[in-house]
Amino acid sequence: MKYNWKLAIIGILLLIGMLSAISANPLMVTYTEKYNMTANVSGDGTTEYAIHNLTGYIKIENNAQNDTLSDVWVAINISNNISAPYVSDNATQRGVFIKNSPPAYTGLPSGLTYVHIPILPNNSYVKVAIQLNTSNVGAPILVNESYSATKIPANRFATWNVSLNISRNVSALPNPYTRVIIRLFKHLSNKSNFYGNSTWTFLNISNVSANQGNTSLYNSHYFTGTANDSIEWYNVELNSTHNGSLNFTVSAYNTYTGRGATKVNYGFAAVNFYYGGTTGATVVEGVYAIGDSGVSVCKKGPDMNTTTGEYTLWYENTTFKNKGNNYYYNISEVNIWAVNGSNPTSLDPFNPSLLISGSNHTETPNAILSPGDIWNSST
């Protein structure tokens, strides 16, 4: 009796960026690529890989406990895609929009794709998905499995040893030094919808050993019986000097009654893997968001110009307060100016013809404001 199993692989790749270098800021933008990939392992040393789809996810999250962020813009440089970006998950209960250009005031680079979230409440997130082209993508990990026997007799107890080896496919990784973290679940099964066969009445794993990481045995629901039919193998790191090797013994009883040999499935494995970097070239290029703050401007005068004797001197300054609870502000540049006019409701302060000569004042403090901090300009 021949036997084989199928390997279902889900890969997770992580690339994390933050709004600024201040670790306490609550806005996080994470780009993740997830594989839907299977590998058919026959046990004779051959493995057939198939990448069914590759999806990129941009997760935009406000993890503040109390602070709402508004007018959030995320600039994405998308490549190797076969679909337009779309909102796959919206936990804000508000609108989310995919745009071709951002407002000039955001300072974001042009010619990219932009996600606009007008309101991002505290403890909420938005996830945008992109379907990526798999034709030029390889399997990031390689799996090989061999058995100590190619056939076992039916209607009697049998045992065989399994050797499972897993390594990096360097050609499909960002660079030769990329570390890959593995967590593998190996399940024996007698259920046809989980790569098993009902002729198995007993399946058990014993004598587990691994060259690295940790293992645990347990009874899963994939085999209808009480046995140690599953292994979890975790804390496994694949790198330029270490592969992963897992060995164990299978004890089994099969009730097959046919006259000729047949191949019978007896289980599967699920492998979670992740590494730093991405397969494609999609990149988050910039982020813009508005938090809670208070700005006030004071104009004082006129005082006498001692040179002319006329009352023509005015003094102006501004105050900025960080009203947030969970984020920091970096005040990089402040511009203050005054214009002539008597009706503030109809006055355009950005009309250069109304600018009062000598009133334009610029400061570049590069001041970091913690929650509750206040910054005052010079007068």
State the pLDDT at residue 45.
Answer: 67
Alpha-carbon gap, residue 316 to 303, rounded angstroms = 12
- Bridge-based pairing of strands 124-132 and 141-147 is unpaired
Task: Provide the CATH topology of domain 2-285.
Answer: Immunoglobulin-like (2.60.40)
State the pLDDT at residue 24.
Answer: 52
Alpha-carbon gap, residue 134 to 11, rounded angstroms = 14
pLDDT in 10s for each residue of the chain, 379 residues: 444 444 433 333 322 222 333 345 689 999 988 988 888 877 666 788 888 899 999 999 998 888 899 999 999 999 989 999 999 999 998 899 999 999 998 989 999 999 999 999 999 999 999 999 988 888 899 998 889 988 899 999 999 999 999 999 999 998 999 999 999 999 999 999 999 999 999 999 999 999 999 999 999 999 988 889 999 999 999 999 999 999 999 999 999 998 888 889 999 999 999 998 877 678 999 999 888 888 888 877 788 888 888 887 777 888 889 888 888 888 888 888 877 777 777 888 878 888 877 777 788 888 888 888 999 988 6
Is residue 231 a contact partner of residue 215, using CB atoms and an 8 Å limit?
A: yes
State the pLDDT at residue 341.
Answer: 77
Alpha-carbon gap, residue 369 to 379, rounded angstroms = 20
What count of Cα atoms within 13 Å lies in the side-chain half-sphere of residue 263?
8
State the pLDDT at residue 25.
Answer: 67
Comparing C-alpha atoms, which of 238, 234, 77, 243 is closest to residue 163?
243
Domain boundaries, the chain: 2-285, 292-376
Query: Three-state SS for 371?
Result: coil
Bridge partner list, 161? 249
Comparing C-alpha atoms, which of 104, 113, 179 is closest to residue 141?
179
DSSP symbol at 81: B
